Structure 1
Amino acid sequence: MSTTEDITHPMSEKSPEMEKNDQEETDTKDVSLDDIEGSNRSEGKTESIVTVLCNPNKTNAAKKADAAAMKADMNTEEMMNVDGSSSHSTANEGMNPSTERALASKKPPAPKMDWKKNLRILISNMYMNSKDRLPGACMPKCLRNTRECEDKHRTAMLPDVPNFMLVEDLKRTLRGHHYDTFLDMVEMMAMQCVYPGDGIFDRLIDLVMILIAKEITVKELADIYRKAISTFFLLVDAFPPCWTCLRPYYLNFLRVPNPTNRSARTDNGTQKLKFYLDLLEEILPQCSDMEIRTMTKPFEEHVFNFTDEEELEMSQETAFLQHVQDYDWISGKLCLDDFKNLSPGARLSRVCDVLNMLCRILEMEFLSWLDHNRLRQSESEMFNEETKPFAIHVFGMSATMRLTDIVRQLMRLYGLAAEKSMYPDRLEMLQRLITLVVEVSNTAELKYVDNNVTYPNLGSQTRLLIAQFFKIFKSQNPKHISTYIKSISQLDQPYLRFEFTDHFLQLFYFPRNVAFGPKKVCDEFNERQWLKYKPKSEIEEDDDEQLSREDYLNILLNALKDYDKWMNLKGFWKFMQNKEQVQQLQTWTSSPLATPVGIITGETFKAFELSEMEKEVPSWKKRLNTKVILGRPMVNLPVAKINLVESCGRYSSDVRYIRYLRRVLVKEVQSEIDVTDWLEYLNGFLCDDEPPSEPASPRSSPASDPEEA
């Protein structure tokens, strides 16, 4: 097994002095990481972190020698200029290195980069960017302008409602089965910001479920079906779930009790999401493999069966009317008799469409909740009975319980659908629900130290939830390796992907009880674990129970990329190398007088730099008289309070191991196996940085590193 001492620098033709200078440059880069990692261990130190640019071991004799050499060079240059025997360019070419260093030292020093501030802004941007918490979700428009959402939805009263006559016309149209006219009326109300009333979402979903080509053609049915779904999404956008006054209506639609109004009418039946998950679990075994793997249509020709009516000696007209007008909209209860007459493929399509509609509401509400609770997203806020997200209500999660019955059912259905190779768009819908569950759990576990958040963070309960998800997935897929490989790439959340990969590789030779990260990947190559996996050429084509060496390396590389994306290590290393200021996260504002000088300093108090605002007073009149606002100005979002004590050591340690990993691959591994993809990724990450030797333990101090002592 290879050790760190086996890794040596390649032979160089440079002189000893040049090699010493190169080594000093490498040490300089290492020291900057050491400073970040070690500066936070000493209490009370908040100064900026700077890179050491000079050699403290330089003696006074050497300094005097440099000064004498500089004086001699200056005298020589002056004599040459007086004699006219040399031009100015020739004098510059003859300048020795000591003179160049002396002249360079007279230049004003470059402004120091505040590494801690940069790191804080980098992490704050990740924390404040709510839409990245659910990568596969559709971004609600309220996230583009939080202030407008605050005014129009969070603190607004109930929306306008139609008059009595219009409500009666709407009911009469629906009961008369004039579905196209009904949808046109609802669409017009939504565009006029008139809320059709409680129960409109239920009616649209019921329409999607029971619509059958009895008295209309299949083409007309297809148009009405698509319009019903688009009208549903139009209503959700016009009256989003972040509208506080509409919260009871949404909870009633989802069939969960509203804790703020105990006396309100609530349906004691099954929760809506649970009801449709039960339907999906019932339909999947009835579908053929082809129906599951293809995009089946939700509509088809209806075949009438008049057997019962013929036995009762009914007339043909009476029997036909009984079949056509048999759905009762007055009762308000969903009847699935017509739905059950559809083929399994059509039923599967409709249930997946309804689940997608429910998932959209849960995602939008959770993203809006994150956006409006940026200052604090701890467990107490997440499980507040009056304001907790809809997802916690629907999935029944608590501060101590994550794997509820409905969550377990959802994970089981995903494993079953993945095993049957369900059509990707429909499988993605189930995956989005699982991502929502995991992200809600992880957000509830955010840690705050003196009101400073530790981010990114993966809580212990969330790790356990992902482990249980993998266990359930494994129970549905006990053999086929290809199913695991394909499913990993279909997961949206980066930390869900690399944690799932970690559990998958533990089925082979991957170590257990060690958190995934660059250090764990380095240990894999140091211990030459790839030798335990057979190459693809030695595995039979129909053998889907062995993991090949090529697949092992590819999966491990993708997991490392996911970890990098989750932590944004590449962004951290970029500003460390380029010494660039990280730009704060920005957002649009609807006010033409908006100015970025206002900052939020607490939960209730606001502080503004009045001196800065006074400078803009002369321009206010002109801006107010502007008839047309050409564009909404961009303003910087406040920088969140980040716990840098833990983050500094974590980021510097991870980058150290990534740099060390490249050296291991170059010096040892690439001569034995193909690691072209690995080196391409690492070179793009590190650019021209020289990889260091094996880093010290993350918990050790910089002085404890034997190579830097």
Structure 2
Amino acid sequence: MDDTMNDDHSPQAKKHKDISWDDDEMEIDNVSANVDVIAETIIDSEETENATIPLDLEEDIAPYSESSDESMKTKSEIEDKKEKEPVTFGTNKLHWKWNLRVLISNLYMQSERRLPGASVPRCLHNTSQCVSQHRCAMLPDAPNFMSAQALRNTLHGQHYDTFLDIVERMILQGVYPGEGVPDRLIDMAMILTTKGMTIDELGGVYKKLIRTFYLYVDAFPPCWTALRPYYLNFLGVPNPTIHDKSSDSSPQKLEFYLNLLEEIIPECSDQELRNLTKFYQKHVYDFSEEENANMSQETAFLRHVQEYDWLSGKLCLDDFKTLDAPVRLARVFDVLNMLTWVLEMEFLSWLDHNRLRQSSPEIFEEDTKPFAALVFDMDSTLRLSDLMRQVMRLYAQCVNKSLYKERLNILERLISLIMEISNTSEIKYEDNAAIYPNLGPLTKRLIGDFFKIFKTKNPSHISKYLETITQLDQPYVRFQFTDNFLSLFYYTKGLPFGPEKVCEEFKSRKWLRYKTRREIGKANDDDDDDDDDDEQLSREDYLEILLNALKDYCEWLNLALFWKYLKTKEQVPQLQAKSASVLSTPVGIVTGDVGKMFMLDEMEKEVHTWKRRMNTKTLIGKPKVNLPVARINVSIMCVRYGDDVRQLRYLRRLLESEVEGQIDVTDWLIYLDDILGEDTVPEAKDAKQTKLTRSSWEADTSETD
């Protein structure tokens, strides 16, 4: 932003001193031509807001307020009243500030948006119910002695189908089957073979155990505070309150299966890695080892038909190691998917229950630390632990071998989880107001480390980088990964990625340093070397990934929606959630859209309306209520949003005036037009409607930009 923005005596401020902000005197399209003035107006509006609205009521500001009698009016009457008496704030300055605050608050409050590739748990749809039934609840009901004995006997007797049926029935009845059930389900996924069953029977049992595991986690989620020690024990994480030296020697469950995956990948061919391999195979008895070991026939026979020992409580992988490498690969990825699902579900619930503050002291609190932070051994200073490095190395290796996309996505979800925990812990608060969205320095360094690890496994092929960038889930990881990738070539240094850096790329005419695809192909034809074709970044690929990075940046900040509401002066809708409270049950008529609340003092005033309402159809169910608006540091964020939009408008003019005649930037202009819309001044219909003439608007725009 310009330095003159905060100076009330600057020429720019004097020029706009006589501008009336009343709706009847100026169109918003004229105001939208100058983002700096709008940002200045939003910043200066803090004094106006504090003078008209008490601070303790700031959270309860409602864009639209309805009287108690309006619930009895028809929908058409309510709409007519809204048209005749539009609801406005004290000033348009406050209107813009509130809009920006609500827009950023929606980004902040949408926990599921933090992990785009994760499954959204049910608790996020009804936070109040999760608080009462999970977060503040006691342990769930335990099974009686007969049920627990039947569960144990069926497992030890290898009656897996019956065992899974009993577990499923307990879960559906709300009875907790036991803390060791998820361990037994994962162990069963590893050791099932066709020794004592057919392939069809094995397939049915295997699919049922996976379904039962997800049913178990959904019924008894990790956000259940009383079950937290059981889940930590399941993940193999030592209890932070109990220092047990014996537990430190054994690897965590996630680390154990990542080690297995690292052993299996070299044993699989490239074709097997690219395809979706089966999780089963027919067991073939081989007695060659026993013949060489001089074993008796009885001992050799018992060795092959001996049942799995569930009494020991330890996982034995002897049968697992006899399976072919593609089968073992499929089973390990199924287990990794289960573990990843638990970590994602718990972290999303943590975000939902800690919306008030999500900085480093809160996320690394020892007693409430997210499971993923414990598993990856992350703290306020350490970001790249050994387990994180292993996940990134495996991901880069699998990309190099073109692993099947759905299986590669499991490793990518683990990386997204790591990045989001790191970035969430770096959220800054000033005056109890969040500066969000923001990319912290430690997270930037972590993405840089991820890129370096990826580069060691993919040193030459450009296509691997182009494919990987599009597969990453989070927008800020994509554009920051792109920024690190382009830094290997002729790229602007010293600026964080954003519209300003993209403008600098075009101002410096960096595209001229890249060869076109035709030039690269012609040079390779002369040299008879096809590998060089995938080792050079073409001009077309450079422009494409730079545009995609800009799109990711705008998506991260939601700049398109910000500019839309700024131009149209529409009210940004708040996020809504279903409420389980009786006091929020609506009693409005079916044709109306205005709900009421069961407040006894208010109902007493409406005694004269009861007779008419007795025969009226009512809405029965959980109503949707507006979520509170988070405290956002609007003074800082409006400068950032305004500056980014100003740079985008400058980028469009730069492309149209200087670049369009030299290279094809059609996709760029289409995208910028979609975000910014038309940049022309509407004709004034009436002299009273506007005080800005075309000449003054053009002069103002030239000075601002």
Do they fold alike, i.e. is TM over 0.5? yes
Paired with 2:184 and 2:34, the residues of 1 have a C-alpha distance of 62
Could you tell me which residue of structure 1 aligns to residue 383 of structure 2? Answer: 402
Could you tell me which residue of structure 2 aligns to residue 94 of structure 1? Answer: none
Q: Is the 8 A contact 1:255 1:268 kept in 2?
A: no
Please state whether the residue corresponding to 2:584 is helix, strand or coil.
Answer: coil
Could you tell me which residue of structure 2 aligns to residue 677 of structure 1? Answer: 667
Paired with 1:464 and 1:515, the residues of 2 have a C-alpha distance of 13
Pair 1:203–1:447, CA change in 2 (3 A): same
Could you tell me which residue of structure 1 aligns to residue 440 of structure 2? Answer: 459
Could you tell me which residue of structure 2 aligns to residue 707 of structure 1? Answer: 703
Deviations 1:411-465 (A, max 9, x none): 1111111111110001100000000000000000000101100000111100010
User: What 5-or-longer segments of structure 1 have no aligned partner?
Assistant: 1-23, 49-106, 597-608, 692-702
Paired with 2:374 and 2:284, the residues of 1 have a C-alpha distance of 41
Could you tell me which residue of structure 1 aligns to residue 232 of structure 2? Answer: 251
User: What is the CA distance between 1:343 and its match in structure 2?
Assistant: 0.9
User: What is the CA distance between 1:577 and its match in structure 2?
Assistant: 1.1
Paired with 1:152 and 1:334, the residues of 2 have a C-alpha distance of 34
User: What is the CA distance between 1:41 and its match in structure 2?
Assistant: 6.0
Please state whether the residue corresponding to 1:139 is helix, strand or coil.
Answer: coil
Could you tell me which residue of structure 1 aligns to residue 654 of structure 2? Answer: 664
Q: Is the 8 A contact 1:592 1:633 kept in 2?
A: no
Deviations 1:52-106 (A, max 9, x none): xxxxxxxxxxxxxxxxxxxxxxxxxxxxxxxxxxxxxxxxxxxxxxxxxxxxxxx
Please state whether the residue corresponding to 1:45 is helix, strand or coil.
Answer: helix
Could you tell me which residue of structure 1 aligns to residue 37 of structure 2? Answer: 35
Q: What TM-score comes out, normalization by structure 2 length? A: 0.81
User: What is the CA distance between 1:686 and its match in structure 2?
Assistant: 1.2
Please state whether the residue corresponding to 1:635 is helix, strand or coil.
Answer: strand
Q: Is the 8 A contact 2:583 2:599 kept in 1?
A: no
Paired with 1:621 and 1:180, the residues of 2 have a C-alpha distance of 58
Please state whether the residue corresponding to 2:369 is helix, strand or coil.
Answer: coil
Could you tell me which residue of structure 2 aligns to residue 151 of structure 1? Answer: 132
265-274 vs 200-209, which deviates more? 265-274
Could you tell me which residue of structure 2 aligns to residue 557 of structure 1? Answer: 547
Q: Is the 8 A contact 1:252 1:266 kept in 2?
A: no
Could you tell me which residue of structure 2 aligns to residue 45 of structure 1? Answer: 47
Choose which of 649, 661, 684 in structure 1 pairs with 2:639: 649
Paired with 1:386 and 1:199, the residues of 2 have a C-alpha distance of 22
Query: Does 1:348 find its partner at 2:329?
Result: yes
Could you tell me which residue of structure 1 aligns to residue 466 of structure 2? Answer: 485
Could you tell me which residue of structure 1 aligns to residue 602 of structure 2? Answer: 615
User: What is the CA distance between 1:282 and its match in structure 2?
Assistant: 1.1
User: What 5-or-longer segments of structure 2 have no aligned partner?
Assistant: 1-25, 51-84, 522-529, 587-595, 682-698
Q: Which amino acid in the other structure matches residue 638 of structure 2?
A: C
511-520 vs 568-577, which deviates more? 511-520
User: What is the CA distance between 1:327 and its match in structure 2?
Assistant: 1.6
Query: Does 1:305 find its partner at 2:292?
Result: no
Q: Is the 8 A contact 2:560 2:675 kept in 1?
A: yes
Paired with 2:644 and 2:419, the residues of 1 have a C-alpha distance of 24
Q: Which amino acid in the other structure matches residue 33 of structure 1?
A: V
Q: Is the 8 A contact 2:585 2:597 kept in 1?
A: no
Paired with 1:172 and 1:44, the residues of 2 have a C-alpha distance of 69
Q: Is the 8 A contact 2:182 2:234 kept in 1?
A: yes
Instruction: Give the % identical residues.
Output: 57
User: What is the CA distance between 1:513 and its match in structure 2?
Assistant: 2.8
Deviations 1:623-679 (A, max 9, x none): 999999743210000000001111010000000111111111112212111111111
Paired with 1:109 and 1:339, the residues of 2 have a C-alpha distance of 68
RMSD over aligned CA atoms reads 3.1
Query: Does 1:631 find its partner at 2:621?
Result: yes
Query: Does 1:518 find its partner at 2:499?
Result: yes
Pair 1:267–1:628, CA change in 2 (3 A): farther
User: What is the CA distance between 1:28 and its match in structure 2?
Assistant: 3.5
Could you tell me which residue of structure 2 aligns to residue 570 of structure 1? Answer: 560
Choose which of 118, 137, 161 in structure 1 pairs with 2:142: 161
User: What is the CA distance between 1:689 and its match in structure 2?
Assistant: 2.4
Could you tell me which residue of structure 2 aligns to residue 100 of structure 1? Answer: none
Q: Which amino acid in the other structure matches residue 615 of structure 1?
A: E
Alignment of 1:195-274 (within 5 A): 195-260=176-241, 268-274=249-255
108-117 vs 213-222, which deviates more? 108-117
Pair 1:463–1:612, CA change in 2 (3 A): farther
Q: Is the 8 A contact 2:343 2:372 kept in 1?
A: yes
Please state whether the residue corresponding to 1:587 is helix, strand or coil.
Answer: strand
Could you tell me which residue of structure 2 aligns to residue 71 of structure 1? Answer: none
Deviations 1:322-375 (A, max 9, x none): 423332100010011111111111111111111110000000000000000000
Paired with 1:704 and 1:379, the residues of 2 have a C-alpha distance of 44
Choose which of 337, 358, 379 in structure 2 pairs with 1:377: 358
Could you tell me which residue of structure 2 aligns to residue 600 of structure 1? Answer: none
Could you tell me which residue of structure 2 aligns to residue 116 of structure 1? Answer: 97
Please state whether the residue corresponding to 1:539 is helix, strand or coil.
Answer: helix
Higher relative contact order (CA 8 A, sep 6+): 2
Please state whether the residue corresponding to 1:674 is helix, strand or coil.
Answer: coil
Deviations 1:391-412 (A, max 9, x none): 1100000110000000011111
Could you tell me which residue of structure 2 aligns to residue 413 of structure 1? Answer: 394
428-437 vs 585-594, which deviates more? 585-594
Paired with 1:570 and 1:490, the residues of 2 have a C-alpha distance of 23
Q: Is the 8 A contact 2:262 2:394 kept in 1?
A: yes
Q: Is the 8 A contact 2:585 2:622 kept in 1?
A: no
Deviations 1:100-145 (A, max 9, x none): xxxxxxx999875410000000000100010100000000000000
Pair 1:121–1:108, CA change in 2 (3 A): closer
**Number of residues paired by the alignment?**
604
Alignment of 1:95-106 (within 5 A): none
Paired with 2:32 and 2:508, the residues of 1 have a C-alpha distance of 25
Q: Is the 8 A contact 2:32 2:567 kept in 1?
A: no
Could you tell me which residue of structure 1 aligns to residue 413 of structure 2? Answer: 432
Q: Which amino acid in the other structure matches residue 559 of structure 1?
A: A
Could you tell me which residue of structure 1 aligns to residue 307 of structure 2? Answer: 326
User: What is the CA distance between 1:512 and its match in structure 2?
Assistant: 2.4
User: What is the CA distance between 1:25 and its match in structure 2?
Assistant: 8.5
Paired with 1:261 and 1:491, the residues of 2 have a C-alpha distance of 38
Q: Is the 8 A contact 1:36 1:649 kept in 2?
A: no
Could you tell me which residue of structure 2 aligns to residue 357 of structure 1? Answer: 338
Please state whether the residue corresponding to 1:593 is helix, strand or coil.
Answer: helix
Q: Which amino acid in the other structure matches residue 553 of structure 1?
A: L
Q: Is the 8 A contact 1:252 1:267 kept in 2?
A: no
Could you tell me which residue of structure 2 aligns to residue 14 of structure 1? Answer: none
Q: Is the 8 A contact 1:145 1:588 kept in 2?
A: yes
Q: What TM-score comes out, normalization by structure 1 length? A: 0.80
Paired with 2:565 and 2:296, the residues of 1 have a C-alpha distance of 82
User: What is the CA distance between 1:42 and its match in structure 2?
Assistant: 6.0
Q: Is the 8 A contact 1:37 1:650 kept in 2?
A: no
User: What is the CA distance between 1:688 and its match in structure 2?
Assistant: 1.5
Deviations 1:24-71 (A, max 9, x none): 9899335652233334666963559xxxxxxxxxxxxxxxxxxxxxxx
Choose which of 371, 383, 389 in structure 2 pairs with 1:390: 371
Paired with 2:313 and 2:88, the residues of 1 have a C-alpha distance of 73
Q: Is the 8 A contact 1:131 1:139 kept in 2?
A: yes
Paired with 2:397 and 2:643, the residues of 1 have a C-alpha distance of 40
Pair 1:27–1:635, CA change in 2 (3 A): closer
Q: Is the 8 A contact 2:236 2:251 kept in 1?
A: yes
Please state whether the residue corresponding to 2:625 is helix, strand or coil.
Answer: strand
Pair 1:613–1:513, CA change in 2 (3 A): farther
Q: Which amino acid in the other structure matches residue 119 of structure 1?
A: L
User: What is the CA distance between 1:262 and its match in structure 2?
Assistant: 5.8
Q: Which amino acid in the other structure matches residue 37 of structure 1?
A: A
Please state whether the residue corresponding to 2:564 is helix, strand or coil.
Answer: helix
Paired with 1:613 and 1:568, the residues of 2 have a C-alpha distance of 42
